[in-house]
A and B are shown apart, each in its own frame.
Chain A
């Protein structure tokens, strides 16, 4: 039976996750704020709230400063309810600002992770006052994983509700979508390489329909079954690696990248910081045993 448990994590693992996620989050926020200077197509909250202060130098400076301060507190694990709450609000404003540049980055996953963490800290603070630091950490990481898994589940349900299983059958149509994607870059740069890459990818997809259909079927299955990552730590790593492998496979065959999804999978599902730490400890042990022998 499917029974997700809140897994146990050490303070060291949580610290590694905080550092990696903090750097990733603030890098994205600063990048967006410095890259854009107008709101050409207001979307989402930008239709309700005036975000034009993000077009101004003082507005940009204040947001960057507050984002940097938030991340310092976040990494130090201090005042986490307020810090994650603030990070969530900054994320909502800045990512809405990015969405309003007529782009579809699907950055919602980042804000959902922050929201999940904020809810976990708030829940422990107001409903489980006796909870120790370890309980809080475990719930925060569990919520972060749930937020990531939710996005994949939603993507799978969207495919099934929009196209049903014909999504797999129609997969070779991707050739024209990929051509379009490359042409978006080509018409900006007029680089002949982009045109030849567009033709190469679309011809490859059109001439290997079965391969693309199998790849799509695996993608759909992985997105639907990703929720098993919540059962235990081993499955979490396995699901994380499978989803990352799929992202790389899709990028290789189609040129479509979702780098921020890969980063979040590496931090929270694969727990890359912990894996690297284990490898370092193991290699140190091997080296010291070699010296003693």
Chain B
């Protein structure tokens, strides 16, 4: 018997001793490939920073547009869309220029998907805002910043 076949049988014997093989294989592949179905690293709140943020939309008077009621869309999806589009340009989060670009792209998508025109909505302008949230002395503090705006034609 050659060295290679001996080695193969030794590895096979060792592998037979490994408990929960499928679990181990899934763990190894998941950390190797990242998020691609059916694998994921399940980073559910795996890092909880002291500052968090969300996005929302307003009209030209800076009044919040209830996007779920008006466009059947929600704040979570708006946030994820901006976040995923952002990482296509940069891995360092927070660049105002990229945020503006991504905000405009998102508005483009929303205008097209929900057929937003002066005939379908009463707004003259739609803006996307970023809100940064932090805790100070057990009180929530929120800082708002406009990232992009688009005229309704």
Q: Counting CB contacts under 8 A, is B37 at the interface?
A: yes
Which one of B23, B51, B68, B135 contacts A189 once the chains associate, using CB atoms below 8 Å? B68
Q: Counting CB contacts under 8 A, is B109 at the interface?
A: yes
A286 to B54, CA, bound (A): 56
Chain A residue total in the interface (Cβ 8 A) = 71
Q: A92-B37, A183-B131, A202-B140 are in contact. Are A150 and B31 (CB under 8 A)?
A: no
Restricting to B1-57, which residues have a CB under 8 Å from any CB of A?
Answer: 19-23, 26-27, 30-31, 35-57
Q: Counting CB contacts under 8 A, is B79 at the interface?
A: yes
Which one of B20, B31, B55, B133 contacts A176 once the chains associate, using CB atoms below 8 Å? B133
A183 to B54, CA, bound (A): 7
Q: For residue A22, which residues in chain B have a CB less than 8 angstroms away from its CB?
A: none
Q: For residue B62, which residues in chain A have a CB less than 8 angstroms away from its CB?
A: none
A179 to B66, CA, bound (A): 18
Q: A40-B113, A180-B52 are in contact. Are A157 and B31 (CB under 8 A)?
A: yes
Q: Which of B48, B52, B109 has the most C-beta atoms of chain A within 10 angstroms of its own C-beta?
A: B48
A38 to B112, CA, bound (A): 11
Q: Counting CB contacts under 8 A, is A188 at the interface?
A: yes
Q: Counting CB contacts under 8 A, is A243 at the interface?
A: no
Cβ–Cβ contact A38 & B113, under 8 A? yes
Cβ–Cβ contact B80 & A176, under 8 A? no
Q: For residue A88, which residues in chain B have a CB less than 8 angstroms away from its CB?
A: 38
Q: Which chain A residue has the least Cβ–Cβ distance from B138?
A: A206
A103 to B66, CA, bound (A): 19
* Pairs of residues from A and B, 4 with the lowest C-beta to C-beta distance, nearest first: A188-B68, A111-B38, A184-B75, A102-B80
Task: Name B's A-contacting residues (CB within 8 A).
Answer: 19-23, 26-27, 30-31, 35-57, 64, 66-69, 73-81, 84-85, 109, 113, 131, 133-135, 138, 140
